[in-house]
Structure 1
Amino acid sequence: MSLYHETASILDGDAPTGGNLRSRVFNNKDIKSPRGQIYALAVETCKWSSVLAEVVDNSQLLQCERKLTPVLALLLVHDLLLAKGGIALPVSHGLRAAIERHRSRLTAEFTRARIRRKCSSVSALAEHVEALLHSTSKHPRWIRVNTLKSTLDDQLATTFDGYQRAASVQDVLAGPAKLIYVDEHIPNLVAVPPRFDFAKSGAYKSGAIILQDKASCFPAYLLDPQAADGDVIDGCAAPGNKTTHLASIVHSRNQAAEGALHAKIYAFEKDAKRAKTLEKMVTTAGSDGITQIHYGHDFLKVDPADEKFSRVGALLLDPSCSGSGIVGRDDMPDLHLPAAAGTKTQTKTQKSAKVSASKKRKREDDDDAEPEKILIDDDGNTTVASSEKDLKARLQALSDFQFTLMLHALKFSAARKATYSTCSIHAEENEHVVLRLLQSDIAQQRGWRILPRDAQVKGMRDWPVRGQVDFCDGDMQVAEACIRAHKDDGRGVMGFFVAAFVRDGQQDESLVPEIRQVQKVPNQPAYELDSTLTGSPPADQSSSLLSSDSKAGGAGPPELGAGSGDDSDWGGFDD
């Protein structure tokens, strides 16, 4: 099967995997053509489809070439008119011949389409197409200035020279001009209109700027590691956006702490391939001198009592989740189709194309069935939940894993701070995990509590969207301590959740759970945790979710100082 037939199958909705375009391509084991080529062809054809459908219709291509489908026609005409190498088939191939014999008419109609849009050149038409693509976008392009290599002022004077300052994110999205918004919550973060692509800019290639959603910047900024906190662990580090953000903050603290032992970051990534991506990003960002990557090392297998980590005072955990908050993660791009021979012109989105012809034939039998819910985690893995029960089971499994990972983080002997975050909208992965942690024996015996809102670093304290009280057993203070972000709410961010935990006191190794070395058994961990120090407290034991001072409206921990500051974004990952 050719590149064009396989791409058409993906866009027609016949792919065996569900989810968005990326997952349909890269999770499809039946594909023979290079996946990168298929994905690029599909993306570009969808982007240009409103123009190409007009060209195909006006040239009457489908009336002349009855064996072509509307989707195949779009793909082939795209490459004929816009690809540098033309149609990627032998000259004698039937599909190529069906298009090439209409080259003159197709080219003429393409020129007419350009003139109708008042574009003087193909490059001007490309800008017009990009502008239309992003004209209804609710999300700007967020860019973090990497202070390991540059400053905000330097980038405003160079990379963003000619951009006018906007007063709000809404202004950036509404205006056609080159506007830039300097964020009010996260230092060294700016937003520009989504149609401007910086992936080929010198600043991006050198690591001076990093493409990172605003909400993804919350964990490192909320953690706010100080020199006194010692070393830092990023337990789920790839692809590296949060790791490099941490590094920029740690670096600024190291510079300010004269004479003190400089802190380092231990970055763990159990997947070897993703660890290589992490290494590339850390190196490009210039944080390799601060960051020690543990390749293929599972954070859950790290001994919290290991002397190597005796100076770890802060931990950032952003574990695998449902990915339900990521912008565009569950979407397919719009595809404008030309009219099939003898039919009226069609315009449909890929959401309507998800059902294949065979599924349509069964629709009458399935009208009462529950709709499928497709979960695509932050690794791009697709899980289809065919019912609400299946969805709940999947979310509970994720929640249990997230709780286990975070509970492990709270055991490090010198730890004083920890953040927990997800790019999920589900309470099972967010507030429910926080409550379980606060009620755990580990948290209560070691004095861990949630960092209250009034003690959070200023930008996070001022962020208006907080946790949901109903998901916090009615505890308003816990809900206020949790930070949420909602996609499509006008703030231009993805769906996100983060909460910070803190504790007082000196190093207390006596309270670290006993780790008993046991004989290694295949597929079993090399140690066991004392079962009396895990899980929830006894039913008759009251739990204090906030410190007594916090519940009484006191100051709680001293306020943290302001820090300095996952797709083609760093290798195509959203973090």
Structure 2
Amino acid sequence: MCKKRGVSLKSLTLAPQNVAKAATHAVVCQTLKFLPVIQQLIAAVDLTGRHPQLTQATAAVLVYEVLFGEGVQSLGPAETAVLAAKAAVTKHLDRLLQAAGVVDARDLLAPASRQPESERPRHVRVNTIKMSVAEALQWLQCPPPAHRRLQSLGADVHVDDLLPDLLVFPPRTDLHAHPLVQNGSWVLQSKASCMPAHALAPESSWTVLDACAAPGNKTTHLAALLGPGFGKVLAFDKDARRLERLRAAATVAGAANVIAQQADFLALDLLAPEYGNVRGVLLDPSCSGSGTAFTRMDHLLPSHGSLGADALDPSFTDERVEALAQFQERALQHALVLPRLERLVYSTCSVYVRENEAVVKACLPFARQRGFSLVAPFPSWPRRGLPVLSEASCLVRTDPVLDGTDGFFVAVFERTAAST
């Protein structure tokens, strides 16, 4: 699965040791959104220079609260210093607004910072191993007596217009403690993350291989799509701790048809007899995770940079993205050697061309030798691949701003001829 080095903004602000996690997360995110403006104001009045006890981080949070938040009380020297500078800071903010010809400080922000995570709908995948979508909707309309307090959640929920097992709730709906999430009947999963398993569309009798499976949301989704027949999911991950998370997820989901094994996918002998019946592959390899920056809130960090021009520039790469892309190419070609493979989905949670269209383009000659062609999943989906290759219309992209979900990429290879 896609992962990034280090920790995310969410993991830092919502860490177990933090008191008032939700409030801390909200204030930090809002401060970071306004940080480019706040830094100008701090520098203009020399706030940290005049008050050595103020760090840049403390000053930024307090200035945000004074100007845009709930205000601060004079509890200590830091708060006192910021309150004393409020008039000067406000005056300089007025100058910035006047110079830009706007009246709201939000208009001074970059477009990405104006797109709050809280505006996104909340998506929930119904785990059809445990309940049907109709049963989920019925539960929402008329919860059991012990959960009648949750009945209001059913007032404004609908089934997604693309994915039939996905429920769409209003923004800011908190479902983490919902009993159906706790018992595995619902899975908190973004719409984009649910698209790869649907794109594979496995038949109920298939053996499906999930090549880089942990932590397991897509694995259990595959298990649910296979249904109660003879189909099974062979799930691999080389990290023992992540594999344990996958096994735990499969247990909670009731996915008894998942066989989880610790192994490096590239080291597997896919011509061995135990893989002779594999008909489908989901390959969601390690990637930059650039498409999940908005969900993780990492786009607000000053070190994150912009995803704009770099992401969509076919020539863009850096050392880490290039290394990931080369691994992705090896993994994709490796999967295509399975002797009875009929359909393969390659997906990433990246917005970078180098990890997406460029990987597909590099592997297409080998895929064609094996009898595979690109086919187009989700024909009604408007956002397709970028014109890096002639079959770009077969590829699927999701936009982290326009589509209300993570930035994802999906390519489907289907065997249409015999190997050459």
TM-score (norm 1): 0.52
Q: Which secondary structure state, in structure 2, belongs to the residue aligned with residue 461 of structure 1?
A: coil
| 1:484 aligned residue (391, 397, 405) | 397
Q: CA deviation at 1:190?
A: 1.1
Q: CA deviation at 1:159?
A: 3.6
Counterpart of 1:205 in structure 2 is: 182
Structure-2 separation of matches of 1:68 and 1:437: 54
Residues 314 and 50 of structure 1, relative CA distance in 2, 3 Å threshold? closer
Q: Which secondary structure state, in structure 2, belongs to the residue aligned with residue 404 of structure 1?
A: helix
Q: CA deviation at 1:227?
A: 3.6
Task: Say whether residues 1:435 and 2:361 are aligned partners.
Answer: yes
Larger radius of gyration: 1
Aligned residue runs from structure 1 range 540-555, under 5 A: none
Counterpart of 2:310 in structure 1 is: none
Task: Say whether residues 1:298 and 2:210 are aligned partners.
Answer: no
Residues 218 and 238 of structure 1, relative CA distance in 2, 3 Å threshold? same
Q: CA deviation at 1:136?
A: 7.1
Q: Which secondary structure state, in structure 1, belongs to the residue aligned with residue 405 of structure 2?
A: coil
Equivalent pair of 2:190/2:406 in contact (CA under 8 Å): yes
Task: Say whether residues 1:221 and 2:198 are aligned partners.
Answer: yes
Q: CA deviation at 1:411?
A: 0.6
Aligned residue runs from structure 1 range 292-371, under 5 A: 292-295=259-262, 297-328=263-294, 331=297, 351=301, 354=302
Task: Say whether residues 1:243 and 2:219 are aligned partners.
Answer: yes
Residues 277 and 159 of structure 1, relative CA distance in 2, 3 Å threshold? farther
Counterpart of 2:349 in structure 1 is: 423
Residues 160 and 302 of structure 1, relative CA distance in 2, 3 Å threshold? farther
Equivalent pair of 2:213/2:235 in contact (CA under 8 Å): yes
Structure-2 separation of matches of 1:50 and 1:439: 45
Q: Deviation per CA, 1:199-223: give whole Å up to 9, x if none.
A: 1111001000001111111111011
Counterpart of 1:549 in structure 2 is: none
| 2:379 aligned residue (450, 461, 465) | 461
Counterpart of 1:44 in structure 2 is: 23
Structure-2 separation of matches of 1:213 and 1:179: 18
Unaligned runs of 5+ in 1: 1-16, 27-33, 52-65, 76-96, 100-132, 166-177, 255-261, 334-349, 356-371, 376-387, 512-575
Counterpart of 1:189 in structure 2 is: 166
Residues 45 and 420 of structure 1, relative CA distance in 2, 3 Å threshold? same
Q: Which amino acid aligns with 1:484?
A: R
Count of paired positions:
337
Structure-2 separation of matches of 1:45 and 1:423: 27
Q: CA deviation at 1:45?
A: 1.9
Equivalent pair of 2:385/2:393 in contact (CA under 8 Å): yes
Aligned residue runs from structure 1 range 362-441, under 5 A: 373=305, 391-440=317-366
Residues 215 and 330 of structure 1, relative CA distance in 2, 3 Å threshold? closer
Counterpart of 1:275 in structure 2 is: 243
Residues 141 and 499 of structure 1, relative CA distance in 2, 3 Å threshold? same
Q: Which secondary structure state, in structure 2, belongs to the residue aligned with residue 36 of structure 1?
A: coil
Q: CA deviation at 1:47?
A: 2.3
Q: Which amino acid aligns with 2:124?
A: I
Higher relative contact order (CA 8 A, sep 6+): 1
| 1:157 aligned residue (111, 118, 138) | 138
Residues 20 and 291 of structure 1, relative CA distance in 2, 3 Å threshold? closer
Residues 301 and 150 of structure 1, relative CA distance in 2, 3 Å threshold? same
Residues 204 and 180 of structure 1, relative CA distance in 2, 3 Å threshold? same
Q: Deviation per CA, 1:508-527: give whole Å up to 9, x if none.
A: 7xx7xxxxxxxxxxxxxxxx
Task: Say whether residues 1:234 and 2:200 are aligned partners.
Answer: no
Structure (1 or 2) with the greater helix fraction: 2
Q: Deviation per CA, 1:79-111: give whole Å up to 9, x if none.
A: xxxxxxxxxxxxxxxxxx979xxxxxxxxxxxx
Structure-1 separation of matches of 2:245 and 2:54: 41
Q: Which secondary structure state, in structure 2, belongs to the residue aligned with residue 294 of structure 1?
A: strand
Residues 480 and 307 of structure 1, relative CA distance in 2, 3 Å threshold? same
Counterpart of 2:94 in structure 1 is: none
Q: Which secondary structure state, in structure 2, belongs to the residue aligned with residue 462 of structure 1?
A: coil
Residues 332 and 410 of structure 1, relative CA distance in 2, 3 Å threshold? closer
Structure-1 separation of matches of 2:292 and 2:116: 20
Q: Which secondary structure state, in structure 2, belongs to the residue aligned with residue 435 of structure 1?
A: helix
Counterpart of 1:264 in structure 2 is: 232
Q: CA deviation at 1:46?
A: 3.9
| 2:407 aligned residue (495, 499, 504) | 495
Q: Which amino acid aligns with 1:217?
A: C
Structure-1 separation of matches of 2:16 and 2:347: 31
Structure-1 separation of matches of 2:227 and 2:76: 60
Equivalent pair of 2:295/2:406 in contact (CA under 8 Å): no
Equivalent pair of 1:180/1:192 in contact (CA under 8 Å): yes
Q: Deviation per CA, 1:301-344: give whole Å up to 9, x if none.
A: 111111111110110000011111115256359xxxxxxxxxxx
RMSD: 3.8
Identity of paired residues, percent? 35
